[in-house]
Amino acid sequence: MKTKLYTIEEANQMLPAIESLIQTLSDIKLDINKHQAEIDVLELIQEGSGAKRVKPSSAYFEKKLEEMQLLFDQFKQNIHRFSELGCELKDLDQGLVDFYSLKDDMLVYLCWKRGEKKVSHWHEIEAGFTGRKSF
């Protein structure tokens, strides 16, 4: 993990890239959920009995599993991009991202939530989102 201390200005400059990463991850997560639902149905069909049921080919099922693995790989690669940038994705669904910073010679997180126009909160490392304070 690349550790970087951000100023508020530097963190704010990163927000367009962060927004893009969060959107990419959200899209991949949606695709993973869709693929998982389809795989679940395929598994149920393959386990079912009855001569009249048309069972999907094992090649089709394997293809879906391979697609799922590719999605997982894409997801992990994009998660890794956060650490390359020196920030931490705390919650994808809420879009919570923390940036290391110094405040009065104390290591803190600058805290940003998707939908906020700029970084305007911070919290102590151990405090978490509930300990957010405005600047």
CA quadruple 114, 115, 118, 123: dihedral, nearest 10: -50
Closest to 43 (Cα-Cα) out of 52, 56, 24: 56
124 is in which domain, residue-wise? 8-134
pLDDT reported for residue 1: 57
**Mean pLDDT of the 9-21 span:** 97
Which 8-state DSSP code applies to residue 6? P
Q: With respect to residue 12, please indicate whether it lies within any of the assigned structural domains.
A: yes
Q: With respect to residue 1, please indicate whether it lies within any of the assigned structural domains.
A: no
The pLDDT confidence band at residue 30, using thresholds 50, 70 and 90, is: very high
pLDDT reported for residue 2: 61
Q: What does 80-115 look like in DSSP terms, one character per residue?
A: HHHHHHTEEEEETTTTEEEEEEEETTEEEEEEEETT
Q: Please tell me the distance from the alpha carbon of residue 127 to that of residue 67, in angstroms, as a whole number.
A: 39
Q: With respect to residue 2, please indicate whether it lies within any of the assigned structural domains.
A: no
Q: With respect to residue 3, please indicate whether it lies within any of the assigned structural domains.
A: no
For residue 40, pLDDT over 80 is answered with: yes
Q: With respect to residue 56, please indicate whether it lies within any of the assigned structural domains.
A: yes
* Mean of all residue pLDDT scores within the chain: 91
The token duo for 69 is 């693995």
**pTM of the prediction?**
0.85
The number of distinct structural domains making up the chain is 1
Percent helix, strand, coil in the chain, to 5, is: 55, 20, 25
Q: How far is CA 103 from the centre of its chain?
A: 27
The pLDDT confidence band at residue 25, using thresholds 50, 70 and 90, is: very high
Q: With respect to residue 123, please indicate whether it lies within any of the assigned structural domains.
A: yes
pLDDT, tens only, 91-111:
999 999 999 999 999 999 999
pLDDT reported for residue 52: 53
pLDDT, tens only, 42-84:
888 877 655 455 556 788 888 999 999 999 999 999 999 999 9
Q: With respect to residue 102, please indicate whether it lies within any of the assigned structural domains.
A: yes
